Amino acid sequence: MSNPSLLILAGDGIGPEVMAEVRKIIDWYGAKRDLTFDVEEDLVGGAAYDAHGTPLTDETMEKAQQADAVLLGAVGGPKYDVLDFSVKPERGLLRLRKEMDLFANLRPAQCFDALADFSSLKKDVVAGLDIMIVRELTSGIYFGEPRGIIEEGNQRVGINTQRYTEAEIDRVARSAFELAMKRGKKLCSMEKANVMESGILWREVVTEVAKDYPEVELSHMYADAGAMQLCRWPKQFDVIVTDNLFGDLLSDAAAMLTGSLGMLPSASLGAPMANGRPKALYEPVHGSAPDIAGQAKANPCACILSFAMALRYSFDQGEEATRLEKAVEKVLADGVRTADLLNDEGITPATTAQMGDAVIAALDASL
Ligand SMILES: NC(=O)c1ccc[n+]([C@@H]2O[C@H](COP(=O)([O-])OP(=O)(O)OC[C@H]3O[C@@H](n4cnc5c(N)ncnc54)[C@H](O)[C@@H]3O)[C@@H](O)[C@H]2O)c1
């Protein structure tokens, strides 16, 4: 059987720096766990613009469509701020998401015990937190028509439309139920069925899909109440499924419960391909961090944990994903910290490569 394929798009700024550490880990899996990937690297974002005058070439797009999974670093930077909107680095990422039809965005909010003090919430509220937010990514109010700013009488009116088809709700709900089956078998669906028709339909369709997953305990919550509960007692949740707009807000809020941007992975999944694997793109939540790029300060953990998500959701290697997550946890527990994880000025921070090497050492120790 051929090796699974990975397309790596490191991108701009700290993207290539954090991805270099992921490459070490990919090599470790090939050498130590007999888990070898066929890796191809290509350009995206500003790097692709510099080389080709576009943030994503058609050839790279085609490679992404063919790959078993895509791993992306980050795109963007001040150098590209002056570019026309159509060729801005972010357009490369948006094209990938759109053409791969990645409708389910998975954002875990996991609090490593060693970092519980970094949260703005009390330690006992967040320590051990492990929730997953599934955000619908390709429809809803960010895409609905009509939209625009029109003249009405003597004033302007801004218009956006929240629109969801049954099929769109059904497919993202199924992704969330499948995830819940692999986790704690609890799913909370969030909408505003009290004031929005799209919310009423959302609730109805999710309830129908639930019949195919009798083992999963389903609950519904209004999204505003959900936001409150996330801050009050986030550990009550396992998987949350919600629409594009609410998911945008709730996933950012939940993410910050856990401390640093440098620790947050994500996955965007689409429909299954012929081999049964979902179309998939994995990337850290953070951007290209131009303020620290080129200084060996970037925390590679978000990108490393994104690869762990790839192991779990694209390659059915849940045990190896857990091994990698535990390795990161051990490194943090041992006190290894990049600068973003330090409050104390007196401690010398680990460099990006030192953090990556510490994770490799923890992987070795796990054997
Ligand atoms: N998915 C993406 O590629 C993506 C996401 C967000 C922003 N961006 C782009 O990135 C550029 C910078 O945006 P921004 O500054 O708003 O967001 P950012 O995430 O790049 O940085 C925000 C802050 O967090 C820090 N930070 C981020 N990642 C870190 C890491 N791994 N380790 C240590 N510190 C880290 C940065 O130093 C900065 O102080 C912009 O061009 C923006 O458009 C890209």
Q: Which residue's structure tokens are 């937190």?
A: 129
Q: Are 44 and 55 in contact (CB under 8 A)?
A: yes
Position 345 scores a pLDDT of 67
Q: Is the CB of 265 under 6 A from ligand 1?
A: no
Q: Are 45 and 16 in contact (CB under 8 A)?
A: no
Q: Is the CB of 299 under 6 A from ligand 1?
A: yes
> What mean pLDDT do residues 273-294 have?
94
Q: Nearest C-alpha to atom 29 of ligand 1 is from which residue?
A: 262
Residue 53 has pLDDT above 90, yes or no: yes
**Environment class of 328 (CB within 10 Å of its CB; exposed 0-12, middle 13-18, buried 19+):** buried
Q: What angle do CA 41, 4, 29 make, to 5 degrees?
A: 80
Residue 343 has pLDDT above 80, yes or no: no
Residue 38 has pLDDT above 90, yes or no: yes
Q: Active-site residue numbers?
A: 142, 192, 224, 248, 252
Q: Give 263 Cα–ligand 1 centroid separation in angstroms.
A: 12
**Environment class of 186 (CB within 10 Å of its CB; exposed 0-12, middle 13-18, buried 19+):** middle
Position 257 scores a pLDDT of 83
> What mean pLDDT do residues 300-321 have?
96
Q: Give 340 Cα–ligand 1 centroid separation in angstroms.
A: 12
Q: Is the CB of 261 under 6 A from ligand 1?
A: yes
Q: Is the CB of 352 under 6 A from ligand 1?
A: no
Q: Give 109 Cα–ligand 1 centroid separation in angstroms.
A: 18
Q: What is the pTM of this model?
A: 0.93
Q: How confident is the model at residue 245 (pLDDT cuts 50, 70, 90)?
A: very high
Position 324 scores a pLDDT of 98
Q: How confident is the model at residue 119 (pLDDT cuts 50, 70, 90)?
A: confident
Q: Is the CB of 78 under 6 A from ligand 1?
A: no
Cβ neighbours of residue 214 under 8 Å, at least 6 residues apart?
none
Report which ligand 1 atom has the smallest distance to the Cα of 14.
31
Q: Are 263 and 299 in contact (CB under 8 A)?
A: yes
Q: What is the CA radius of gyration of the chain?
A: 21
Position 252 scores a pLDDT of 85
Residue 258 has pLDDT above 80, yes or no: no
User: pLDDT per residue over 94-114, tens digit each?
Assistant: 899 989 999 999 999 988 888
Q: Nearest C-alpha to atom 23 of ligand 1 is from which residue?
A: 289
> What mean pLDDT do residues 66-76 have?
98
Q: Nearest C-alpha to atom 33 of ligand 1 is from which residue?
A: 298
Residue 157 has pLDDT above 70, yes or no: yes
Residue 248 has pLDDT above 80, yes or no: yes
Q: Give 287 Cα–ligand 1 centroid separation in angstroms.
A: 3
Concatenated DSSP letters of 239-304: EEEE-HHHHHHHHHHHHHTTS-GGG-EEEEEEEE-TTSPEEEEEEESS---TTTTTTT----HHHH
Q: Nearest C-alpha to atom 15 of ligand 1 is from which residue?
A: 289
Task: Quote the CA–CA distance of 21 and 41 in Å, as a whole number.
Answer: 14
User: pLDDT per residue over 174-212, tens digit each?
Assistant: 999 999 998 999 999 999 999 999 999 999 999 999 999
**Upper half-sphere CA count for residue 223 (Cβ side, 13 Å):** 25
Q: Give 13 Cα–ligand 1 centroid separation in angstroms.
A: 9
What does residue 42 show for φ and ψ, rounded to 5 degrees? -150, 180
Q: Tell me the domains of the chain and their CATH numbers.
A: 1-111+260-367 (3.40.718.10), 140-256 (3.40.50.2300)
Closest CA to 340 of 283, 287, 263: 263
Q: What is the mean pLDDT of the chain?
A: 95
> What mean pLDDT do residues 229-251 have?
95
Ligand 1: which of 56, 256, 261 to mutate, most ligand atoms within 8 Å of CB? 261
Q: Is the CB of 144 under 6 A from ligand 1?
A: no
Cβ neighbours of residue 18 under 8 Å, at least 6 residues apart?
73, 74, 284, 298, 299, 300, 302, 303, 304, 352
Task: Quote the CA–CA distance of 100 and 306 in Å, as a whole number.
Answer: 18
Q: Is the CB of 287 under 6 A from ligand 1?
A: yes
Closest CA to 14 of 342, 255, 298, 354: 298
SS3 350: coil
Q: Give 45 Cα–ligand 1 centroid separation in angstroms.
A: 14
| CA torsion through residues 340, 116, 229, 204, sign | positive
User: pLDDT per residue over 135-155, tens digit each?
Assistant: 999 999 988 999 999 999 999
SS3 8: strand
- The fraction of the chain above a pLDDT of 70, given in percent, is 100
Give strand pairing partners of 272.
Answer: 278
Q: Is the CB of 356 under 6 A from ligand 1?
A: no
Residue 259 has pLDDT above 80, yes or no: no
Q: Nearest C-alpha to atom 8 of ligand 1 is from which residue?
A: 287
Q: Is the CB of 132 under 6 A from ligand 1?
A: no
Task: Quote the CA–CA distance of 321 and 313 in Å, as a whole number.
Answer: 9
Ligand 1: which of 286, 299, 306, 351 to mutate, most ligand atoms within 8 Å of CB? 286
Q: Is the CB of 341 under 6 A from ligand 1?
A: no
